[in-house]
Amino acid sequence: MNRILSSLLLLLLLRTLPAKANETRQESLIRDVTSVEGVRDNHVLGYGMVVGLKGTGDRQQTIFSVQTLANILQHMGVQIPPATVTVKNVAAVFVTANLPPFATPGTRIDVTVASVGDARSLEGGLLLLTPLYAADGKTYAAAQGPLTLGGYTAGRGGNTKQVSHPTVGRIPGGGIVERDSSLDLHALTKLSLILNEPDFDTAGEVAGSINKEFGQSIASVVDSRRVDIDNTAAGSGSVPAILARVQSLTVAVHHRARVVVNERTGTVVMGKDVRLGAVSILHGTLSIVVATELTVSQPNPLSRGKTEVVPEQTVKAEEAPARRIELTEGASVEQLVNGLQRIGATATDVIAILQAIKAAGALEADLDVI
């Protein structure tokens, strides 16, 4: 009797327990899961010329590099007709860089240089002064300096050896910021934190942690990605001090279960918390081979026939018996992978099976195909 009552109590307890959500929860700092609205990088781009190459630059058919060289020399007071210029020690390049937040004039930034024409290598090259423009068309930085490459090319003609990409290089600290593009934090009356991954639970955790730290309701959830902070109600202190205090807080971050599939490389990444509904999988292979064999047909002696080549085609179809996997409700990724390995499924098969499971509504996770 006591055993029966214990079983009933355990059953009632299990029924009253809340179902575990299909998501992970971990503790993280606010600075690691959010960014401040307006505090961001900015891309800049420029077109320039690399000189000093050892015969590995653009060739004569790359017209724009010769025109660029002629324009640079004209600016220096040297007049040359571009049609008569033949040099192999220069290369036209695009220069890219990122302006970090709060970059002020004089700040050094790293730049990346990539060949535009048919130069074989930028090894030993020197980038001439190149203005860098943002999306608004204004000049925000300038770059110049010797290149460092992660690869090289050696040899001539058909006997060459190339390591990595010798037509792309970097200039550490080769760019100098010329225009201030930073955000004035002191002019802001309201701060906004943007979550890296939208989630209402995480946004609520962030707002609750901030309100608890300051002892009053200064943070509010706008949507699943945005949390607003009224810095005027936070008391005395500058905006950087408030942000430093906020970003050091710890919150519980909720991540949705996700399966990432790369069809080009056959890579499948699944979190341990991915769960499957009750599903039965049948997997089989159908192989069809069409072979053509050429035979020679000889005529009989003293006959008027001709020797001919006759193709003989053979069609063979092989279909392997379907292999079956049966998973119960709430099966884990480990059980799915073990089952797929038992039937000998390849990476391509796994991707197709996961897409079919998602279409059947039995995959309790987001399926991202990249």
pTM attached to this predicted model: 0.68
2: pLDDT strictly greater than 60: no
Average pLDDT over residues 219-244: 86
Per cent of the chain over pLDDT 90 is: 31
Residue pLDDT, tens place only, 93-109: 999 999 999 889 999 99
Residue pLDDT, tens place only, 102-141: 889 999 999 999 999 888 889 889 999 999 999 999 999 9
Q: Tell me, what's the pLDDT at 209?
A: 93
Q: In 3D, which of 189, 193, 215 has the Cα closest to residue 202?
A: 193
| pLDDT tier at 13, thresholds 50, 70, 90 | very low
| pLDDT tier at 257, thresholds 50, 70, 90 | confident
CA distance 45 to 335: 50
Task: Show the tokens assigned to 130.
Answer: 């190149």
CA distance 76 to 87: 18
Contacting residues for 208 by C-beta, under 8 A, at least 6 apart: none
The per-residue DSSP string of 232-246 comes to: GGG-SS-HHHHHHHH
Average pLDDT over residues 158-177: 81
CA distance 296 to 305: 13
CATH for the stretch 23-38+184-255: 3.90.1150
Q: In 3D, which of 222, 220, 357, 194 has the Cα closest to residue 283?
A: 357
Are the beta carbons of 151 and 165 closer than 8 angstroms? Answer: yes
User: CB-based burial of residue 195 (10 Å sphere; 0-12 exposed, 13-18 middle, 19+ buried)?
Assistant: buried
CA distance 107 to 99: 9
Are the beta carbons of 365 and 330 closer than 8 angstroms? Answer: no
Question: Any bridge partners for residue 318, and if so which?
Answer: 287
Task: Show the tokens assigned to 54.
Answer: 């050892």
Q: Where in the chain is the domain with CATH 3.90.1150?
A: 23-38+184-255
Q: Coil, strand or helix: which one is 137?
A: coil
Q: Tell me, what's the pLDDT at 316?
A: 64
Contacting residues for 129 by C-beta, under 8 A, at least 6 apart: 48, 142, 143, 144
Q: Tell me, what's the pLDDT at 200?
A: 92
Q: Tell me, what's the pLDDT at 19?
A: 38
Task: Show the tokens assigned to 166.
Answer: 């010798």
Contacting residues for 16 by C-beta, under 8 A, at least 6 apart: none
104: Cα within 13 Å, side-chain hemisphere: 1
Q: Coil, strand or helix: which one is 325?
A: strand
Query: Which of 108-112, 198-202, 286-290, 354-358 reaches the highest mean pLDDT?
Result: 108-112
